[in-house]
């Protein structure tokens, strides 16, 4: 029967007294030097398990002790020492642990850390800017903003630029007047434009519009983005003009800004569609498509027969966004007229989703 021991098996099993005799024999007669001590299997397993547990416990205690010592040392460390650990290339578990502890200590020091990081952002070490950005997310405005406002007057342009840029992550438009003078500082103007836009500072509208004529493409993009953020109808004529900028990046930024302003931009865009040509007309079509302008449908239907194949394709793409049923009804006519023209690829693809920015 299963689970029972036969009489024969019972006789062959070692009795408790036999096991005790075996163990006492081993302890009384240990093996000679160089010999091997053989233990019963059960004792070997217990001994090995105990050894593993002991090593694990000692390792855990050592790690905890090391962390405690490291934390105490970092509390007394200078900012330079903290940044040494926080910005180094951590190639071992110990270095990675120190990196995390140093970053945690930087956060604990709050506004003092933000001041240190921004005031050293002129150093060519990206970690100063990365950790400064983290501190802005961590600190409330009543702690972070005073530090950044103070550093707007720093002697180094890189520090002023970083401070002006980081202010844009706080919504404190009451300090817009502090940034207006920085628009005259060619090293800091871009960051100031961006932050004034984030603050929707309409008082800076005319000052920002000047940068639409700047030779620097990046500054023109920043100015267009800022006007879109401010979203004032007063900026519409200037933004429509930027739809003919030689740089496609500026043109697309202008499309995005006009769409952000919304319905007030619709009628001016319709008027611009009638009088514009070439690439500008195509950008105006894009604006009307993203605005889902039903008023533009008759004009777009007429443009399907435009001599400019690309314009006709864009008109078809716009109709597909505004009134898909109208586009389907005219699709065969477009296909018959264009044959194997490359513009059909555009028609099939449609307009992509409106690009987003940070």
Q: Which two tokens stand for residue 271?
A: 């008027």
Tell me whether residue 36 is exposed, middle or buried, using C-beta atoms within 10 angstroms of its C-beta: 0 to 12, 13 to 18, 19 or more.
Answer: exposed
Cα–Cα distance, 354 to 206 (Å, whole number): 27
Describe the chain by its helix, strand, coil percentages, rounded to 5.
75, 0, 25
Cα–Cα distance, 15 to 281 (Å, whole number): 102
The separation between CA 264 and the C-alpha centre of its own chain, rounded to angstroms, equals 32
Query: What secondary structure does DSSP assign to 289-314, as a single string?
Result: HHTT-GGGHHHHHHHTT-SSHHHHHH
- Picking from 88, 115, 110, the residue whose alpha carbon sits closest to that of residue 99 is 88
pLDDT of residue 305: 81
Q: CA 19, 25, 27, 31: dihedral to nearest 10 degrees?
A: -120
Contact 113, 106 (CB under 8 A): yes
- Picking from 271, 268, 243, the residue whose alpha carbon sits closest to that of residue 257 is 243
Domains of the chain: 76-167 (no CATH), 171-261 (1.25.10.10)
Cα–Cα distance, 274 to 295 (Å, whole number): 13
Query: What secondary structure does DSSP assign to 149-213, as a single string?
Result: HHHTT-SSHHHHHHHHHHHTTS--GGGHHHHGGGGG-TTTHHHHHHHHHHTT-GGGHHHHHGGGG
Q: Which residues of 123-160 are buried (b: 16+ CB within 10 A; e: fewer)?
A: eeeeebbebbbbbbeebeeeebbebbbebbebeeebbb
pLDDT of residue 290: 95
Return phi, psi of residue 133, to 5°. -65, -40
pLDDT of residue 34: 53
Task: Report the Cα–Cα distance between both ends of the chain, in Å, rounded.
Answer: 77
pLDDT of residue 342: 58
What is the chain's alpha carbon radius of gyration, rounded to the nearest angstrom?
Answer: 37
- How many residues in total does the chain contain? 358
Cα–Cα distance, 298 to 279 (Å, whole number): 20
pLDDT of residue 49: 63
Tens-binned pLDDT, residue by residue, of the chain (358 aa): 445 545 555 455 555 555 555 545 545 555 555 555 555 555 555 566 666 665 655 554 545 444 554 556 778 888 899 989 888 887 888 888 988 999 999 999 999 999 999 999 999 899 999 999 999 999 999 999 999 999 999 999 999 999 999 999 999 999 999 999 999 999 999 999 999 999 999 999 999 999 999 999 999 999 999 999 999 999 999 999 999 999 999 999 999 999 999 999 999 999 999 999 989 999 999 999 999 999 999 999 898 888 888 888 888 889 888 887 767 656 556 655 655 565 655 555 567 777 665 4
pLDDT of residue 212: 97
The whole model's pTM is what? 0.73
pLDDT of residue 25: 54
- Picking from 244, 253, 320, 251, the residue whose alpha carbon sits closest to that of residue 278 is 244
């Amino acid at each position: 029967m299963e689970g029972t021991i036969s009489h024969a098996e019972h006789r062959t099993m070692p009795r408790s007294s036999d096991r005790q005799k075996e163990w006492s024999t081993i302890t009384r007669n240990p093996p000679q030097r160089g010999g091997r001590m053989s233990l019963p299997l059960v004792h070997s397993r217990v001994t090995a398990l105990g050894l593993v547990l002991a090593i694990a416990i000692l390792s855990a205690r050592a790690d905890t002790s090391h962390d405690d010592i490291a934390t105490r040392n970092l509390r007394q460390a200078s900012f330079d020492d903290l940044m040494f650990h926080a910005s180094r290339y951590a190639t071992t578990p110990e270095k990675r642990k120190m990196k995390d502890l140093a970053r945690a200590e930087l956060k604990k020091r709050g506004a003092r850390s933000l001041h240190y990081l921004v005031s050293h952002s002129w150093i060519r070490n990206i970690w100063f800017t990365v950790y400064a950005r983290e501190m802005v997310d961590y600190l409330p405005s009543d702690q972070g903003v005073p530090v950044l406002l103070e550093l707007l007057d720093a002697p180094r342009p890189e520090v002023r630029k970083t401070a002006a840029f980081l202010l844009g992550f706080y919504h404190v438009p009451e300090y817009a007047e502090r940034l207006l003078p920085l628009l005259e500082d060619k090293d800091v103007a871009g960051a100031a434009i961006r932050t004034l836009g984030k603050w929707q500072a309409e008082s800076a509208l005319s000052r920002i519009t000047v940068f639409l004529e700047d030779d620097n493409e990046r500054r023109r993009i920043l100015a267009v983005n800022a006007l879109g953020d401010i979203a004032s109808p007063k900026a519409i004529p200037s933004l429509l003009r930027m739809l003919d900028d030689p740089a496609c990046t500026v043109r697309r930024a202008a499309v995005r800004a006009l769409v952000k302003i919304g319905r007030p931009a619709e009628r001016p865009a319709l008027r611009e569609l009638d009088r514009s040509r070439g690439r500008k007309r195509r950008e105006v079509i894009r604006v009307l498509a993203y605005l889902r302008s039903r008023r533009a449908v008759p004009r777009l239907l007429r443009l399907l027969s435009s001599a400019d194949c690309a314009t006709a394709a864009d008109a078809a793409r716009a109709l597909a966004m505004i009134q898909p049923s109208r586009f389907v009804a005219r699709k065969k006519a477009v296909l018959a007229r264009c044959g194997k023209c490359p513009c059909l690829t555009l028609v099939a693809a449609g307009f992509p989703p409106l690009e987003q920015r940070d």
